[in-house]
A and B are shown apart, each in its own frame.
Chain A
Amino acid sequence: MKKITQRVCFLALLAANAHAATIEMDVNGLVCAFCAQGIEKKLRTFEATDDLVVSLERRLVAVSTKPGQDIGDEALRTALTDAGYTVKAIRRSDEPLSAVRERVQASRK
């Protein structure tokens, strides 16, 4: 019974990650518009990318994925490394990208 419960929890966790609305990445080296432009160009090559936010102030790149689609952590790390930047952390949440955008804009006021 305990094993079944563990498996259900594990699958639930996987499912939650697979349908994460937004993926946030803390990125080092993000200092100019050209950096952001290169990262945006790279991330938009993913079929699963719906929209994204880049904040130089927060050193943050956030991607929202299309419904039912996902981009794996390794693919994201590779994409940003190939764009010339260093990913420090990746977080996934159900927060919509618009909320991330508002948070980023609020931090600038």
Chain B
Amino acid sequence: MQSLVAGRRAAVLLCACAVSAAQAKPIAFADGTTVMAEYGAGTMVEAQAFYAPSYRFSAGGGYLRLDSDLARRSREIEYVRANVLAKRWNLDAAQANVFVWGSLGRGRGDGFDGSRLARNAGFQLDYETRRVYAAVKSDLWESPAFSHRIDTVQLGLAPYEHDYRDLATWFVVQARRYTGEIHRGTETALLLRLFKGGTWVEAGVTDDGKPQVMAMFNF
């Protein structure tokens, strides 16, 4: 029953915002809205929506569900988040960024009763040219009832250099580790990323054959 309610909530968020988030930038551009959703190989579902009044700051909310394949437990967190672009390097043919964020939310799970206040902090470092993309992201959640961290590394290569209004194609290798008894070992995935205009879609499979899908819309 609980999972049904959770599923409905996720669906509502997915529909209302159109979709989460790994390695996509939490701030796309000034006066821009970013909606993201990710399905992570049966372990993670996350949906987020942010509005950025400037290119250095965005705020919004999200929903995170984690299903442990070790302890057979689920955890859901609904949260509000602020993202800050701490540093940007605009190079001749490249850009590099440091993003940091913090969240407050309510966490529920089948390992404890009721809900708990949960706190979050994270960062992302990325470097991008029109042919190479590299990113490192870490996302830590803490509450009196649970603690976990999700670390993700992505390396992308584009077979051709896209221009504005072209379809951009990327082949991405991703490695991800979860702490907090969510998933044992490193989960690797091969992804195909396509984006055009304000729409970004990414899909692939993990090393154990599970699907991973992510979508992002900027407008």
Q: Which residues of A contact B (CB under 8 A)?
A: 28-39, 41-42, 54-57, 59, 82-86, 108
Contact = CB atoms under 8 A, between A and B. Distances in A.
Interface of B: 25, 28-32, 54-56, 85, 88-95, 128-130, 161-166, 168, 195-198, 218
The 6 residue pairs across chains A and B that have the minimum distance between CB atoms: A38-B29, A29-B90, A84-B55, A36-B164, A28-B90, A86-B90
Given A34-B218, A38-B30, A84-B30, A56 B162 contact: yes
B148 to A, nearest CB: 30
Contacts of B55: 38, 82-84
A37 B197 contact: yes
A54 B91 CA distance: 17
Contacts of A38: 28-30, 32, 55
B88 A84 contact: yes
Contacts of B92: 28, 59
A29 B29 contact: no
Given A37-B198, A83-B55, A84-B55, A56 B164 contact: yes
Contact of B91 (A28, A42, A82, A108): A28
B130 A56 contact: yes
A59 B163 CA distance: 10
Given A56-B164, A59-B93, A37 B129 contact: no
- Tell me if A's interface is mostly helix, strand, loop or mixed: mixed
Nearest to A42: B30
A34 B28 contact: yes
A85 B93 CA distance: 12
A40 to B, nearest CB: 8
A84 B89 CA distance: 10
Contact of B164 (A28, A55, A83, A86): A55
B93 A31 contact: yes
24 contacts: A29-B88, A29-B90, A29-B94, A31-B94, A32-B168, A32-B195, A33-B162, A33-B195, A33-B196, A34-B28, A36-B164, A37-B32, A38-B32, A39-B29, A41-B29, A41-B31, A42-B29, A42-B30, A54-B164, A56-B161, A59-B92, A82-B55, A83-B30, A84-B30
Contacts of B91: 28-29
Contacts of A85: 90
Nearest to B95: A29
A34 B130 contact: no
Given A33-B197, A37-B197, A56-B163, 6 more contacts: A32-B130, A34-B25, A38-B28, A42-B30, A55-B163, A84-B90
Nearest to B163: A56
A57 B161 contact: yes
Contact of A37 (B94, B95, B218): B218
B168 A82 contact: no
Contacts of B30: 38, 41-42, 82-84
Contacts of B166: 33
A41 B162 CA distance: 20
A91 B123 CA distance: 38
